[in-house]
């Protein structure tokens, strides 16, 4: 299966590259956009050629690279007219200044003027330039006109200084691009997502856990954010990068997750419990590391059933649960939907190829009180969108 996601598939992206040190990162940006099915056409400024070669960009995009305003006489009209979105990364202080004032003295600034769609911009520069009031005025002019800004970030800059000005990371630029291309059908929702495993400690160094990576929950959080929702992500231990723009609450044990859910629930309209909460925890936890003395018998006790507790509440949100089973135990999932008083349950058989823990894909069945829909094997990003589509339908 190709690594393509729905949002960027067959989208035509006009990528402006300007003369900043981070221009080399555009090669990775192009590669990842193409991996997701987008068609990328590059316009680079003359200054950008000091930092990255047109040939590298041509190879990465598998497309002609444009730069000279007078070499392709209609490019400043035809390229923007054929694009779904314009992304400028990196965006220099100079180009941002030109955009803000309608200066059109090169192919990129002229294309910006003739483009009618959304523009995502990733400013990158030294922190002194970024904090300069003249630059800020130009940036604000563009933001007030609806240009979408991503980054910059704080960190070590190419000049050796520390400060704000590093170009946003490539995944964040891609996420902002997807967001700009997505309809905000969840704009009125406050979505609480739980993700990842929990750890139930027997002593300060050992715990019981499970194979959950958090990928499904993080994909749900990103997709909900892209669709305009306010998102809170309560996550058990996971190595995944924290999605930008969500309220992120890291937790460890099932008990911590329960407390965090209770705290955040008050302001939530939808709860999506995709975390693989441990069902059992050691009945006793030793304050010190347990010595290695032959056999050790563990006595386990049930962890709190977060979902059932929430479902019993008076003003409960819309509840989505998951049923990860070994085998096609659909009837068990149907019963769980009913007994736990959920609105939607997402069933998956973790023993099926490409499905379940720590893989990029999932094959699920969505079950609610009205219908059951079996989805094909999809990327977790696409599964997340399908789950959110069903939530939107059910809440309409």
Ligand X SMILES: Cc1cc2nc3c(=O)[nH]c(=O)nc-3n(C[C@H](O)[C@H](O)[C@H](O)COP(=O)(O)O)c2cc1C
Q: Which residues are part of the catalytic machinery?
A: 159
Judged by CB under 6 A, does residue 122 bind ligand X? no
For residue 36, report the phi and psi dihedrals to the nearest 5 degrees: -90, 10
Return the number of the residue (51 or 218) whose C-beta is nearest ligand X: 51
Contact pick of 13, 15, 86, 125 for ligand X (by CB under 6 A): 125
Dist CA 21 CA 86 (whole Å): 20
Q: How many residues does the chain have?
A: 396
Window 70-99: residues binding ligand X (CB under 6 A): 92-95
Return the number of the residue (86 or 272) whose C-beta is nearest ligand X: 86
Closest-by-Cβ residue to ligand X is 20
Return the number of the residue (24 or 248) whose C-beta is nearest ligand X: 24
Tell me which H or E stretch contains 386.
Answer: helix 380-395
Instruction: From residue 274, give the alpha-carbon distance in Å to each of 215, 221, 225, 299.
Output: 10, 10, 16, 27
Q: Give me the long-range contacts of 235-238 (CB less than 8 A, separation at least 24).
A: 235/194, 235/195, 235/196, 235/275, 236/194, 236/195, 236/196, 236/197, 236/198, 236/199, 236/212, 236/275, 236/276, 236/277, 237/196, 237/197, 237/199, 237/209, 238/195, 238/196, 238/197, 238/213, 238/214
Contact pick of 18, 138, 198, 303 for ligand X (by CB under 6 A): 18
Beta strands at 12-17 and 39-44: parallel, antiparallel or unpaired: parallel
Write down the least CB distance from residue 145 to ligand X, Å.
19
Judged by CB under 6 A, does residue 19 bind ligand X? yes
Contact pick of 8, 13, 21, 121 for ligand X (by CB under 6 A): 21
Write down the least CB distance from residue 159 to ligand X, Å.
8
Write down the least CB distance from residue 235 to ligand X, Å.
34
Contact pick of 69, 124, 261, 386 for ligand X (by CB under 6 A): 124
Judged by CB under 6 A, does residue 337 bind ligand X? no
Return the number of the residue (38 or 89) whose C-beta is nearest ligand X: 89
Write down the least CB distance from residue 98 to ligand X, Å.
7
How many residues touch ligand X under the rule CB under 6 A: the total is 14
Q: Which stretch binds ligand X (CB under 6 A): 41-49, 53-61, 112-120, 335-343?
A: 41-49
Window 234-273: residues binding ligand X (CB under 6 A): none
Strand-pairing partners, residue 123, are 91
Judged by CB under 6 A, does residue 151 bind ligand X? no
Residues 98-136 as b/e (b if ≥16 CB within 10 A, e otherwise) read bbbeeebebbbbbbbeebeebbbbbbbbbbeebeeeebe
Which residues touch 195 (CB under 8 Å, ≥6 apart)? 212, 214, 216, 217, 218, 220, 221, 233, 234, 235, 236, 238, 274, 275
Judged by CB under 6 A, does residue 45 bind ligand X? yes
Write down the least CB distance from residue 106 to ligand X, Å.
6
Q: Which stretch binds ligand X (CB under 6 A): 15-23, 70-78, 112-120, 376-384?
A: 15-23
Which residues are near ligand X by CB under 6 A? Answer: 18-21, 45, 47-48, 92-95, 124-125, 129
């Amino acid at each position: 299966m190709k690594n393509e996601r729905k949002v960027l598939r067959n989208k035509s992206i006009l990528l402006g590259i300007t003369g900043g040190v981070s221009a080399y990162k555009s090669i990775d940006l192009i590669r990842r956009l193409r991996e997701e099915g987008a068609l990328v056409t590059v316009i680079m400024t003359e200054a950008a050629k000091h930092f990255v070669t047109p040939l590298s960009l041509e190879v990465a995009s598998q497309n002609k690279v444009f730069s000279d305003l007078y070499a392709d006489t209609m490019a400043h009209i035809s390229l923007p007219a054929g694009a779904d979105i314009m992304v400028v990364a990196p965006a220099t202080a100079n180009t941002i200044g030109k955009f803000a004032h309608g200066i059109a003295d090169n192919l990129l600034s002229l294309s910006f003027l003739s483009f009618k769609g959304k523009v995502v911009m990733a400013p990158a520069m030294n922190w002194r330039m970024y904090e300069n009031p003249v630059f800020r005025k130009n940036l604000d002019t563009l933001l007030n006109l609806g240009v979408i800004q991503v980054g910059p970030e704080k960190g070590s800059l190419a000049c050796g200084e520390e400060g704000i000005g590093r170009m946003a990371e490539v995944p964040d630029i891609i996420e902002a691009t997807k967001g700009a291309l997505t309809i905000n059908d969840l704009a009125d929702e406050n979505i609480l997502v739980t993700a990842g495993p929990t750890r139930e400690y027997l002593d300060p160094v050992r715990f019981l856990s499970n194979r959950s990576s958090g990928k499904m929950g993080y994909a749900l959080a990103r997709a909900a954010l892209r669709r305009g929702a306010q998102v809170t992500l309560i996550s058990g231990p996971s190595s995944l990068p924290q999605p930008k723009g969500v309220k992120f609450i890291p937790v460890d044990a099932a008990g911590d997750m329960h407390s965090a859910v209770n705290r955040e629930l008050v302001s939530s309209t939808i709860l999506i419990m995709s975390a693989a909460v441990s069902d059992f925890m050691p009945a006793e936890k030793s304050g010190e590391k347990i010595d290695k003395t032959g056999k050790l018998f563990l006595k386990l006790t049930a962890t709190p059933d977060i979902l059932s507790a929430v479902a019993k509440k008076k003003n409960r949100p819309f509840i989505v649960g998951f049923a990860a089973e070994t085998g096609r135990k659909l009837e068990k999932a149907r019963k769980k939907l009913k007994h736990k008083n959920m609105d939607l349950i997402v069933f998956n058989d973790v023993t099926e190829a490409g499905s379940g823990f720590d893989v990029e894909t999932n094959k699920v069945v969505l079950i609610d009180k009205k219908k059951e829909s079996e989805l094909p094997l999809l990327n977790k990003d696409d599964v997340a969108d399908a789950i959110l589509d069903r939530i939107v339908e059910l809440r309409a």
